[in-house]
Structures are given as C-alpha cells and as structure tokens.
Chain A
Amino acid sequence: MNEREPVTKPSVSQIGASAPSGATEATSASSKNPALLLENVSCWYGGFRAVREVSLAIPRNKVTALIGPSGCGKSTLLRSINRMNDLVPGFRMEGEIAFEGTSVHARATDVIDLRRRVGMVFQKPNPFPKSIFENVAFGLRLLGETTGIDALVEESLRAAALWDEVKDKLDQPGLSLSGGQQQRLCIARAIAIRPEVILMDEPCSALDPKSTLQIEELMRKLIRDYTIVIVTHNMQQAARASDYTVFLTMGDDRAGYVVEQGETGKIFTAPQQQLTADYVSGRFG
C-alpha cells in the first residue's frame, strides 16, 4: 500500500552494522530490514532519566509488543518514535531512532511528515467532537485532499472493522459511539492517511474484554499493510496478539531498560532471563 522509495543513507547502514547484540537477536530471519531501528535510546524529562540505552529492531508487517511494569518508560519510548515527546517541555533524547533508514531526529526530517507516516492510537479513545465521517476525514483534510474522501473514509472504516456498525450514521457525533467503537474510530482515523507504522499505547486498557478481542483481531489483519508497535500491560494480550515481544523494566534509578526481546512464543515459554520469567508468569509487575 505504501510505495515509497527506500531511503538509504550511509549513516543508516552504520546503525544497522553497529547494532548491539540485543537488537541483532531480534533481527532474526524475518527482520533483516526492520521498519524501525532504535539504538542506545535514552530519554530524559528534565533531569530524570526515564529510559536508558534501549536498542531494538521493529520488524516490518509484524506486531511488536512492549511490555513491562507501569512507569518503566514504555509510553516514553513509543512517543519518541513519532516525536510526540517534542511537545513535552524539558524532554530530551539521546541515541538514534531510524525509521526506514532515516533518523527521526535528523535536522532534515520533517516532523509533520514523520507523524503522517507513523500514526498513533492512544490509551484513552480521543475522537474529535465531530461527526464519525469528519473524524476519519480529519487527516485527509489536513493534507488538503478534496476528492475521493468518501471512498477513503469508507475504506478506512472497513479496515478498522467499524463500517457495518456506523455506515448508516456517519453524520452522528463520534463521541456518541461506545468506547470500543470509539477506539476503532481512532484506528480508522489513523489509517485514513495511510501511514506505514501504527503505534498503539495501551489501546485496550479502557475497553471491555469483547472490544479488546475485536481490536486484537483487527491488529492481526492490519499487519498485512502496516507495522504495528503496541504497548500493553496485559500479558495475555501480548501473548495472543504480538509476533515479537520486548520486555522492559526499571532499575534502581527508575530508568527503564530492555531486559529481553525476541519472538513472543519464546519470551513467554522459554525466557532467558529470570526477571522476564517472573514478569510473564505474573510474579511481579
């Protein structure tokens, strides 16, 4: 769906080549050419370091789950990818995040363009106080699209498995939908502008179990066209819906770091680290 020229910059191959062991482990078979590559990423809020030297590879067209105890920096890490943290005064990042080979923090990188290519779904559904139709059309209107909006809105709502429920009431307020429907509306809104990656920050934490399963099913379908990174504190969700799992925890200084990453099956059935084993079996966190 996204036919963009692969950007190849010298710095990128360097990043790939010098990826530390943590990242190369995850870069097994299916992800020789990851959509996103994080290297030695550290994040600060003022003087407080929230994330310490995280390196990971996010494989294309897969679901990668970030799991770990509350406050270990999962959201911080996720929001650094599409630079939502730029909006937080005092936020600072070190290290490198490469998206399709280009550093997201490079001076030449346009943050607006980056956010169009890397969409985001938030913890609490946040539709605009507009009609269902206008919610989905929002990003298209930002792009100045005037033609074909109807078709794109329908296509996006179908892709978000919401079309059948709302096709007769597109002019009704998005906020009149149920929580689960609102979250799928937000997913439709995100995919309407055809991003390449969708970041989801605990998208089901405000939803009931049925809506949660619907969204998990949806994610499995969406990875045909998109790369998904999901933050979740729901162990079952990570186990059910993701292909790769990254387990983070925090040190004594409360800075989050990666303990272990790999294929979801392995992380849950044969973790290499005791911390991981304790966490996925529900013994802490």
Chain B
Amino acid sequence: MSSQTTTRRKVANALFGLLAFLAIFASLVTLVALLIDVVARGGSSVDLQFFTSAPSRIPAKAGILPALVGTLWVTTLVAIMTFPIGVAAAIYLEEYAGRGRWSRLLRINISNLAGVPSIVYGIFGLALFVRLLGLGRTVFAAALTLSLLILPVVIISSMEAIRAVPPSQREAAYALGATRWQMVRRALLPAAAPGILTGIVLAVGRAVGETAPLILIGAVTFVTFVPVNPFEDKYTVLPIQIFNWAGRPQAAFQEISAAAILVLLVLMFLLNLVAVILRARLSRTIQW
C-alpha cells in the first residue's frame, strides 16, 4: 500500500466528515433561525388570554382556544385509532402473513401508501367520510382521515420494532410451550414496545402538523366556539388557524400567527420529548 493512496484516503475521509458537518450545520442553522424569528415576532403575543380566547376580528383579542382544543381532539382520536390497528397490522405482517407473494404485495403497498401526498388522503376523506358516510365536517371525520394518513407510517415503524426483537426471544418463548399468540403477547410485544410507542408518537406528531387534507375535508377557518362533540361540531385545528391568520395583510395578525406557530412547535416538541422519554424508560431493561 503506497503512502499516496493512504493520503488520498485520509483526505477523502476528512472531506466526508466536513460535508456531514455542513449538512448538520445547515439544518440546525435553519431551525434556529426559524425559532428566533418566530419568537421575536410572536413571543410577546403568547399570554393567558391567547390560550383562552377564540379568534376575533380584533387581533389583540384573538386567541387559539378552539384551534388548540380541535387539535387535541383530533390528535387523541388519531392516537386511539391508529394504535390498535397499526400494531395489529404489523403483528399480522411480521408474524402471521408469511413471506409469500400476497404478503409481499401488501408490504409494498403499505410502503407506497406512506409516500402518497397528504392532499390525496384529503380528497379520499372528503369522498368517503364526509360525503359517503355522511360524517360531515366533524372532528371525527378529520381524525379518520388523518388516521389513514399516518397508519402506513405506524405500521412500518411497528414492523421494524417487531423485527428488531432477536429471533432467540421468539425461540425462548416457543421452547417453553408458548402458542404463537402467547409468544406475540408475552415475549414479542413487551420487547418491541419501546420502538412501537416511539413510532406511534412520532407519527401522531406528523398528524398534528397536517394542514392540506384538513382544508379539503372542511376544517373551518373561523370557529369561535370550542368543539365538544367530535361527531357533531364544526372545528378547526392549529395549522389551519395559522394558515388563516398568516394570509391576512395586517401586521398584528402576522404576529399572532407567529405566536400560534410557537405554540404548535412547543406541542410538537413535547410529543417528541414524550417519545424520547418513553423509549429511554422502557428500553432501560432491554439491552440485548
């Protein structure tokens, strides 16, 4: 091995390190710049009144209460619906479906669904839930639509978590006389739980920020009351409230729009924090 190739390899190594650093640096700088901008413009508008008021034509009196409650409603319903369905689908595909043509087809389709633009889910939700099933422009219809949107992501991340459990764990359970379902229930799921939960929380975080499909299925842009009945009431959510305010010419609305962005960011941050904590707590005992 000549010293020349060694030098070249070292240079290539250093260059790649620099590139990786620049990539991280660029994304971090963008994020920090965005945060600073949002805080500078909207920080002063975030006060108690902002959380407890409904939107108003007068920016100083406007608040995000209906949108915040709408977002919490939708998020909770999405989490409740996607958890069992997503995990069950992942268990089926990983442990029951085998590796035949049919299951390969299913897998490929789920991966494709994860890449479908969210607006398409909006069109589908409008046709199926809002019109055909007659659910109307309700929280429930929104939750169903967003559930469909994130289900592929939940299924894929749950499958990965299940696949990450070493085969020796399955064997240990089977060798003790476990049925397949006992193996899944008592060995596989507890071991995969940290990964599954993290995936779900992150996917739900994606649903929190979705705007486009909800515009289509009729989240209202000006709601002055808090939705109480998810099957009946009109609703709005934070991203749509932001969209609405940001589109207005007055500077004061721009400010409360920034304030709402700040709240949304904090909400997402909290969700991600929950994911990290869950993962750390649950996997403390799991180190293969």
Contacts and interface: CB of A to CB of B under 8 A. Distances in A.
B247 interface: no
A279 interface: no
Contacts of B179: 112
Contacts of A82: 175
Interface stretch (B11-19, B104-112, B165-173): B165-173
Given A142-B182, A175-B287, A126 B174 contact: no
A141 B287 CA distance: 23
Interface in A112-141: 112-113, 115-116, 119-120, 122, 124, 126-130, 138-139, 141
Contacts of A126: 166, 168-169, 171-172
B286 A129 contact: yes
B253 to A, nearest CB: 52
B187 A89 contact: no
Residue among B176, B182, B187 with most chain A CB within 10 A: B176
Contacts of B172: 122, 126-128, 186, 189
Nearest to B286: A129
A93 interface: no
Contact of B187 (A115, A128, A186): A128
B174 A87 contact: yes
Interface string B261-288: 0000000000000000000000001111
A274 B169 CA distance: 41
A120 B176 CA distance: 8
A119 B176 contact: yes
A22 interface: no
A186 B191 CA distance: 17
Contacts of A139: 176-177
Nearest to B183: A142
A84 interface: yes
A87 B174 CA distance: 9
B230 interface: no
B190 A129 contact: yes
Nearest to A120: B175
A108 to B, nearest CB: 17
A69 interface: no
Interface of A: 82, 84, 87, 89, 112-113, 115-116, 119-120, 122, 124, 126-130, 138-139, 141-143, 173, 175-176, 186, 189-190, 193
- The 8 lowest CB-CB distance pairs between A and B, nearest first, are A116-B177, A126-B168, A120-B175, A129-B286, A139-B176, A173-B285, A115-B177, A126-B172
23 contacts: A84-B171, A112-B178, A113-B177, A115-B174, A115-B177, A119-B176, A120-B171, A120-B175, A122-B175, A124-B168, A126-B171, A128-B190, A128-B191, A129-B190, A130-B190, A138-B176, A141-B186, A142-B176, A143-B177, A175-B285, A175-B286, A190-B176, A193-B177
